[in-house]
C-alpha cells in the first residue's frame, strides 16, 4: 500500500533526509521516498498507519505533512505560478522599457516612484512565496536561491525608497523588479516540469 503526501518546510536535501529518516522509523512504514523538488513524499506501508502519527512525528522535527490529491495539488501550484509569472511580465516589461527610455532621455527624474510602486507589487505580492521560502531557509540556517533573490530584490527596492526621501543615492529598484520577474519565470518552468509520478 502506498500514499503520497505534501511536506511543508523542506528547503534542502538535508531536510529531505531528515523527513525520510523520521518517517522510516515509524512502525508500519516500509519506505519513505522524498522528492524535494516536488515537495512530496511517497510512503510504502507494511500496515496501516494513522495519519496523525505521521503528522505528530514530523511536527516534532519542524516539518508538516498533509494528505493531498496529488493532481489537484500540482494543478493549483501550476495555475498560481503561471498567474504570478504572467502578471510579473506584463507589469515589469513596460517598466523596463520606461527605465531604458528614462536613462537615455532623462525625461522623468522621479522614475523611482514607479520603481517603488511596481516593485512593491512584484517583489512583495507576486513574489511572496520567494519571501516565505527565504525565511523558512533562514530559520533552518540553510542557504538557497530564495534568500539570495529576496535580499537582492529587497535592497534594490529600499534604494528606490531611500531616493524618494531625497537621499543622494542611485535607485536600483528596476534591478529588484527584473530579478524577481526572472526568478518567477524560472520557478514556473520548474513547477511545469514536475510530474505527479514518482519514477
Which is more confident, 99 or 195? 99
The pLDDT of residue 158: 96
- pLDDT over threshold 80, residue 71: no
Band (pLDDT 50/70/90 cuts) for residue 70 is low
Q: Which strand (E) or helix (H) includes residue 40? A: strand 40-45
Distance CA(124)–CA(107), nearest Å, equals 28
Rounded CA-CA distance 174/35 in Å is 35
The answer to whether the beta carbons of residues 176 and 156 sit under 8 Å apart is: yes
Predicted pLDDT at 199: 44
Over residues 133-176, the pLDDT tens digits come to: 899 888 888 888 899 999 999 999 999 999 988 888 888 999 99
Residue 17 has pLDDT above 60, yes or no: yes
Per the CB < 8 A criterion, the answer to whether 175 and 152 are in contact is yes
The residue count for the chain = 199
User: Could you tell me the three cell numbers for 149?
Assistant: 533573490
Nearest to residue 12, comparing CAs of 102, 136, 116?
136
Contact 46, 124 (CB under 8 A): no
Up-side HSE of residue 179: CA atoms within 13 Å toward CB? 21
pLDDT surpasses 50 at 195: no
Amino acid at each position: 500500500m502506498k500514499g503520497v503526501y505534501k511536506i511543508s518546510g523542506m528547503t534542502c536535501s538535508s531536510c529531505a533526509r531528515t523527513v525520510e529518516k523520521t518517517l522510516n522509523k515509524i512502525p508500519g512504514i516500509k519506505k519513505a521516498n522524498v522528492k524535494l523538488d516536488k515537495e512530496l513524499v511517497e510512503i510504502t506501508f507494511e500496515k496501516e498507519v494513522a495519519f496523525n502519527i505521521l503528522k505528530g512525528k514530523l511536527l516534532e522535527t519542524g516539518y508538516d505533512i498533509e494528505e493531498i490529491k496529488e493532481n489537484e495539488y500540482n494543478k493549483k501550484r501550476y495555475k498560481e505560478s503561471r498567474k504570478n509569472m504572467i502578471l510579473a511580465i506584463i507589469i515589469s516589461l513596460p517598466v523596463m522599457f520606461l527605465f531604458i527610455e528614462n536613462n537615455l532621455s532623462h525625461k522623468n527624474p522621479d522614475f523611482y516612484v514607479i520603481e517603488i510602486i511596481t516593485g512593491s507589487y512584484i517583489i512583495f505580492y507576486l513574489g511572496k512565496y520567494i519571501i516565505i521560502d527565504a525565511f523558512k531557509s533562514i530559520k533552518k540556517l540553510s542557504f538557497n536561491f530564495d534568500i539570495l533573490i529576496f535580499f537582492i530584490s529587497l535592497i534594490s527596492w529600499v534604494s528606490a525608497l531611500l531616493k524618494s526621501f531625497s537621499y543622494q543615492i542611485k535607485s536600483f529598484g528596476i534591478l529588484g523588479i527584473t530579478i524577481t520577474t526572472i526568478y518567477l519565470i524560472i520557478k514556473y518552468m520548474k513547477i511545469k516540469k514536475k510530474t505527479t509520478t514518482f519514477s
